[in-house]
Amino acid sequence: MAIETAQLHHLAHLARLDLPVAEEQRLAQDLNALLGLVAQLQDAAVDALTPMAHPHDVAASLRPDRVDEIDRSSELERIAPLMQGGLFLVPKVIE
């Protein structure tokens, strides 16, 4: 199924990724070409197989439930684009 411009806009919205109009056609072409490539997955005889999400069929190891993180807020503040009073600043959400 080919991706049209409207669907590309929907994907870009879901991905929170603004697309310049000049890039749209090329990106749609590339995505459609890739979908053509991955279409071969449909012919594989895999209906009976359990999907494999991870290389090892073992449970992730757990660590003790205790606080061991140190307070790095001042370091994190240095790399934040905009911060004030220990809070990350974003444009106003509620008028």
Q: Of 3, 68, 58, 67, which is closest to residue 30 (Cα–Cα)? A: 3
Beta carbon of residue 25, minimum distance to other proteins (angstroms, whole number): 13
Residue 31 touching other proteins (CB under 8 A): yes
Q: Could you give the dihedral angle defined by the CA atoms of residues 31, 36, 41 and 43, in that order, rounded to the nearest 10 degrees? A: 160
Residue 24 touching other proteins (CB under 8 A): no
Residue 22 touching other proteins (CB under 8 A): no
Which residue number, 55 or 85, has a Cβ lying nearer to other proteins?
55
Instruction: Decide if 49 contacts 55 (C-beta within 8 A).
Output: no
| Distance in angstroms (rounded) separating the CA atoms of residues 62 and 68 | 14
Binding site for other proteins (CB under 8 A): 3, 8, 11-12, 14-20, 23, 27, 30-31, 33-35, 37-42, 44, 46-47, 49-56, 58, 60-63, 72, 75-76, 78-82, 88, 90-93
